[in-house]
């Protein structure tokens, strides 16, 4: 998100994320575990050394990777583990890899509409002249909320891993999104950067609304929320550069957010709220 706090000039592109950092522990020196989303899945779920290339390691290891995954450890402690992303999971063999990783349930762009229907919402598909990833973050986060609410009815602990889609190229937003109607004063003059910044602002708003709904329903008090990224974006003059490993170790691409927001039941405000770790 540009600078870690999401600031563009003296205004923030991530006001809701910024507020959430005051409730948890913010890590300022956190960097991406790979150059593309597919490779970060392997690094984040298994804690293995990242692959800084465009070869899809998840596809390569979809059914053969052997290791102790986060989900393995959580399941040994009776956690239910679910993965949610509003995309087509056949891309780079995500579905096969995630099943190998032993998620109890995987929700994708084709099953999320059923979750939305159960809570009285209709899905909205992203569309673009050359590419679509799936459903907008607003829909996906309502699905995450529904799963949190349902799983919270049981005494069994659970883990949900959700990946944002709208904050990814081609940065398409819902037509009625207020970010589409804003003037350009908050955004870069570079068109590609501006599209990215609008998408970040939109996704940040959806994050804030999502956390607000969890709070209003009393669901947040028993949750530990971890917010991080998989990679950033080449900015400014590098926007038009080749996406090479050499370019992608630049700060705007590799420097990503990480904040851990603890449950109210775990620590008190006196202990660690508002902590920053450099």
pLDDT confidence bin for 250, thresholds 50/70/90: low
Q: Domains in the chain and their CATH numbers?
A: 7-277 (3.40.720.10)
- What beta strand segments (E) does 60-120 contain? 80-84, 105-107
pLDDT at 240 over 90: no
pLDDT at 77 over 90: yes
pLDDT confidence bin for 92, thresholds 50/70/90: confident
Q: What is the pLDDT of residues 18-61, one digit of tens each?
A: 999 989 999 988 877 666 777 778 888 888 776 666 666 777 76
Q: Look at the block and give the residue holding tokens 């006196």.
A: 270
Q: Determine whether 238 is exposed, middle or buried from the number of CB atoms within 10 Å of its CB (0-12, 13-18, 19+).
A: middle
How much is the pLDDT for 237? 59
Mean pLDDT, rounded, for 266-275:
52
**Alpha-carbon gap, residue 197 to 122, rounded angstroms:** 26
178 versus 64: the higher-pLDDT residue is: 178
Q: What is the pLDDT of residues 160-170, one digit of tens each?
A: 999 998 888 88
pLDDT at 243 over 80: no
Pick the closest to residue 134 from 159, 165, 107 (CA basis).
165
How much is the pLDDT for 1? 40
- What beta strand segments (E) does the chain contain? 7-8, 11-12, 25-27, 80-84, 105-107, 158-162, 225-228, 258-261, 275-277
How much is the pLDDT for 161? 96
């Amino acid at each position: 998100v540009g600078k870690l706090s999401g600031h563009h000039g003296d205004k923030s592109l991530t006001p809701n994320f910024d507020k959430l950092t005051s409730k948890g522990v913010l890590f300022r020196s956190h960097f991406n575990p790979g150059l593309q989303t597919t490779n970060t899945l392997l690094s984040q779920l298994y804690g293995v050394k990242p692959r800084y290339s465009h070869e899809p390691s998840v596809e390569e290891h979809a059914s053969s990777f052997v290791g102790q995954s986060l989900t393995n450890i959580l399941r040994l402690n009776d956690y239910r583990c679910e993965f949610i992303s509003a995309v087509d999971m056949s891309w780079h063999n995500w579905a096969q890899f995630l099943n190998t990783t032993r998620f109890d349930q995987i929700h994708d762009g084709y099953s999320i509409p059923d979750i939305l229907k159960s809570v009285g919402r209709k899905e909205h598909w992203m569309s673009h002249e050359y590419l679509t990833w799936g459903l907008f973050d607003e829909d996906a986060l309502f699905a995450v909320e529904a799963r949190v609410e349902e799983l919270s009815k049981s005494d069994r602990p659970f883990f949900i891993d959700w990946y944002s889609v709208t904050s990814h190229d081609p940065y398409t937003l819902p037509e009625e999104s207020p970010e589409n109607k804003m003037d350009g004063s908050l955004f870069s003059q570079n068109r590609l950067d501006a599209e990215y910044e609008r998408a970040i602002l939109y996704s940040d708003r959806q994050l804030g609304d999502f956390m607000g709904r969890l709070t209003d329903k009393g669901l947040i008090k028993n949750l530990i929320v971890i917010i991080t990224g998989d990679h950033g974006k080449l900015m400014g003059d590098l926007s038009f550069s080749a996406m090479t490993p050499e370019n992608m170790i630049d700060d705007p691409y590799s420097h990503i957010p990480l904040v851990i927001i603890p449950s109210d039941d775990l620590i008190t405000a006196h202990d660690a709220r508002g902590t920053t770790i450099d």
